[in-house]
Structure 1
Amino acid sequence: MATEQRKPLPFIANFAAGAIAGVSEILTFYPLDVVKTRMQLETGKAKHGMVGTLSSIVKEEGFGRLYRGLVPPLLLEAPKRAVKFAANDFWGKTYMGVFGESKMTQQLSILTGCSAGATESFVVVPFELVKIKLQDKTSTFAGPIDVVKHVIRKEGVLGLYAGMEATFWRHFWWNGGYFGCIHQTEQGQLFNNFVSGSVGGFVGTLVNTPFDVVKSRIQGTSKVPGVVPKYNWTYPALMTIMREEGPAALYKGFLPKVLRLAPGGGVLLLVVEFTLGVFRNALGPPYI
């Protein structure tokens, strides 16, 4: 493992590593995201599990539907993951300075992760909104641009930020769980990076799935003038879903989500650490 005295890599290196990792993860696991969204948008008692939803999509709509809405997250993934890891690096250095710590602690890693997630949320909202509307079974949109035009025409530019508050909490809690967990596992070997990233992805998903369900409901519902949306603010919406559909409804789509984000979290960390290693070797001392 490299010494702690090595010079931190420049911001652009963390940004590039996050971007490369994000694109790798989305190309590998995207169909599970489509299945997850479909399950979360289904109100009332769930009719299908993960396998049933997956086979239903393929049978009724064709295999290509599993990649419906891929363009927005693919365009988003590079800046999104880049912001995640660059923000985590920035907030980590900032908090260590504020609290007078010479190295990262468990408490600071959670605080840093939550702050990185909050930062990331502001970047992702419009892309998430477009993706959700394209993934909906009832969607008739021709593509991402059609969604954007429709939303702006009906709700104005700020309509693209519907679900901002729910997205904030979703990313806040996921990143806190993710970075808090990977701090516990010593890194430096690719296998360790994959395992710790997978554990972090599992814990983050366990914590944030209810917020993801609410976000999908808010962004999947079209606003009607003069009518207060049923799902509007995050915590009241959590109570509404739990009261009407039971506590288990807050974990709709959990299986495909965790099957994506647990190994996906491992892939993210593995690719990030591998890419940062390439940068260190290319730059040479004192970065190694």
Structure 2
Amino acid sequence: MRRGPGDNHDDQVLRKDTMIRLPSFLHGGTSSLVSTLTTIATFPIYKTVFRQQLHSTVVSQAIGQLRKEGFLKLYRGVVPPLLMRTLNGALIFGIHDTFLHCLSSFTNPCSVTPLSVLPAVAGLGTGVVEALVFTPFERVQNVLQNGGNDRSLPTLKSVLARLGAERLGMGYYRAFIPILARNTLGSCIYFGLKDPFSAALREKGLPPMASSFLSGMVISSMVINLPLYPLSVLVVNMQAEVAGEAAGVRGSWKALWEGRLKRSVPLLYRGGSLVILRGCISWGITTAIYDQLQRRSAH
């Protein structure tokens, strides 16, 4: 079949349309790379929260554990979150923008599905991909941060070898179901509310950069982290150990809730205030930088 003179133009538009999602990967990776500085700065806070989640201790006791282990072990386990932060930003923003573009292309303008809900729907798919890719990172990180593993698994290489010897459900993908639930819900909420909340703040007179920062800060810390915090506590307690036959999700939650937490909601939320602080810093910065890069590339 002969091609008309307009076909070359159509091909160029198509190629441009399929490539247009790549800047989102780049901008997401750049924003997260910058925020890795906050990851390094706030890692002691994160590790304190981890000990609270694992042992149900108060802040002073968790800090006492870290001081006893010494400064050299304070940053044990920092490599996985550093890799996760950079890769996570590139993946979630790039994948979300790609999913959103596909959904917008296939959505009929006369459809009963409002276009305003598409970012949240794309966020669900993004959360699935995020869980598949980053559960192994989180597993390694939690094993390294558990002081009880220091002697048997002293190095990152030893942890990788031990987890690699286990079947996936017990090794790298331990606690995949609660991570999947947490990430899909979190991504759905974040992408569904981020832009409307930022737009509302700009209407109040805030500069774009400030509105993006506040949007990421409030949504990630207050709207996502607090309601989903119990899932994070469950994940930590399921992933921190490597010895013995571990229980499933239901058994692990029952043992945690009735055993260590003694059916106490305040004990469950120990460390929650520090999670808010960490989320405010990291996701506020990430959101502000990403939105600024997207605005510049649009002009």
Q: Same fold (TM over 0.5)?
A: yes
Q: Distance in 2 between matches of 1:146 and 1:125?
A: 18
1:100–1:73 Cα change, 3 Å: same
Q: CA-to-partner distance for each residue in 1:117-151, whole Å, 9 max, x for gaps?
A: 12111110111111001111212133322210122
State the match for 2:256 in structure 1. 241
| Identical-pair percentage | 22
Larger Rg: 2
Equivalent residue runs for 1:1-288 within 5 Å: 10-28=20-38, 29-42=42-55, 46-49=56-59, 51-53=60-62, 55-100=63-108, 105-140=115-150, 141-153=153-165, 155-156=166-167, 159-185=171-197, 186=199, 189-202=208-221, 203-224=223-244, 227=245, 229-230=246-247, 232-233=248-249, 237-244=252-259, 245=261, 246-248=263-265, 249-278=267-296, 280=297, 287-288=298-299
Q: Distance in 2 between matches of 1:264 and 1:256?
A: 12
Q: CA-to-partner distance for each residue in 1:125-180, whole Å, 9 max, x for gaps?
A: 11111100111121213332221012223x14662222222221121122222222
* Count, aligned residues: 264
Q: Distance in 2 between matches of 1:173 and 1:205?
A: 11
Q: CA deviation at 1:8?
A: 9.6
Secondary structure, in 3 states, of the residue corresponding to 2:188?
Answer: helix
Matching residue's letter, 2:227: V
Question: Are the aligned partners of 1:106 and 1:184 in contact in 2 as well (CA < 8 Å)?
Answer: no
Secondary structure, in 3 states, of the residue corresponding to 1:267?
Answer: helix
**In angstroms, what is the RMSD of aligned CA positions?**
2.7
In terms of mean alpha carbon deviation, does 19-28 or 259-268 score higher?
19-28
Q: CA deviation at 1:240?
A: 4.4
Matching residue's letter, 1:88: H
Q: Distance in 2 between matches of 1:139 and 1:172?
A: 30
Question: Are the aligned partners of 2:58 and 2:270 in contact in 1 as well (CA < 8 Å)?
Answer: no
Secondary structure, in 3 states, of the residue corresponding to 2:149?
Answer: coil
Q: CA deviation at 1:274?
A: 2.6
1:77–1:176 Cα change, 3 Å: same
Q: TM-score, structure 2 length as denominator?
A: 0.78
In terms of mean alpha carbon deviation, does 98-107 or 265-274 score higher?
98-107
Q: Distance in 2 between matches of 1:32 and 1:105?
A: 39
Question: Are the aligned partners of 2:103 and 2:122 in contact in 1 as well (CA < 8 Å)?
Answer: yes
Matching residue's letter, 1:123: V
Q: Distance in 1 between matches of 2:85 and 2:103?
A: 26
